[in-house]
């Protein structure tokens, strides 16, 4: 997913840029049409995730106007934010689908080589490691990283632990 594109777009939509303020988790966010967009579900000081009911939209903290007392605002409507997220998710899914080909390398979330795609069966990808071991992952466990490489959405230790738990 082009997360950075979403962040840049959201930053451009800001009413007034604020330094990374602490939007409170659970706080409501209102759009430029005075209707509620959603609720803050996470804030790490840089990125604020707003649950719109359709998407959990990661936005830069400085995209928000207002304050905790008056309420947080964005210079978009809920519909606009949902449409933007839907479009970016569809674009990311199409890019991932195009990248999923036999022989393509797959890395883990902690940038370790998992192996090469050996087979593609519907919504399942079989990856063959350098030691000839096979790892089967559902497509929804894969994404493209910032460089366009196929990445498992788990680190190597978690994948190995899951394999061991399954006896493989």
Gap between the Cα atoms of 31 and 76, Å rounded: 5
Residue 8 has pLDDT above 50, yes or no: no
- How much is the pLDDT for 126? 95
Residue 44: Cβ within 10 Å count: 10
- How much is the pLDDT for 16? 38
**pLDDT per position as a tens digit, 40-97:** 999 988 999 999 999 999 999 999 998 767 789 999 999 999 999 999 999 999 999 9
Residue 162 has pLDDT above 70, yes or no: yes
- How much is the pLDDT for 66? 83
- How much is the pLDDT for 1? 41
Q: Which residue has the higher pLDDT, 163 or 105?
A: 105
> Where does 81-149 show beta strands of DSSP type E?
105-107, 113-121, 124-128, 134-138, 142-144
Gap between the Cα atoms of 117 and 103, Å rounded: 5
- How much is the pLDDT for 35? 96
Q: Chain-wide mean pLDDT for the chain?
A: 85
| CA–CA–CA angle 37, 41, 44 (5° rounding) | 120
**pLDDT per position as a tens digit, 119-133:** 999 899 999 999 998
Confidence (pTM): 0.71
Gap between the Cα atoms of 132 and 12, Å rounded: 48
Gap between the Cα atoms of 116 and 126, Å rounded: 9
Which of 88, 72, 93 minimizes the C-alpha distance to 29?
Answer: 72
Residue 23 has pLDDT above 60, yes or no: no
């Amino acid at each position: 997913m082009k997360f950075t594109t979403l962040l840049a777009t959201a930053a451009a939509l800001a009413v007034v840029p604020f330094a990374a303020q602490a939007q409170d988790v659970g706080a409501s966010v209102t759009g430029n049409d005075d209707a509620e967009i959603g609720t803050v579900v996470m804030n790490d000081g840089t990125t604020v995730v707003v649950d719109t009911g359709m998407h959990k939209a990661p936005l830069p903290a400085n995209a928000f106007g207002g304050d905790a007392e008056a309420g947080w605002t964005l210079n978009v409507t809920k519909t606009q934010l949902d449409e933007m997220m839907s479009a970016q998710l569809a674009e990311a899914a199409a890019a991932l689908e195009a990248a999923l080909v036999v022989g393509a390398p797959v890395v883990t979330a902690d940038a370790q080589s998992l192996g090469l795609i050996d087979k593609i069966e519907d919504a399942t990808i079989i990856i063959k490691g350098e030691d000839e071991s096979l790892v089967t992952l559902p497509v929804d466990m894969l994404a493209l990283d910032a460089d366009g490489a196929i990445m498992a959405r788990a680190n190597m230790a978690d994948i190995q632990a899951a394999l061991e738990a399954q006896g493989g």
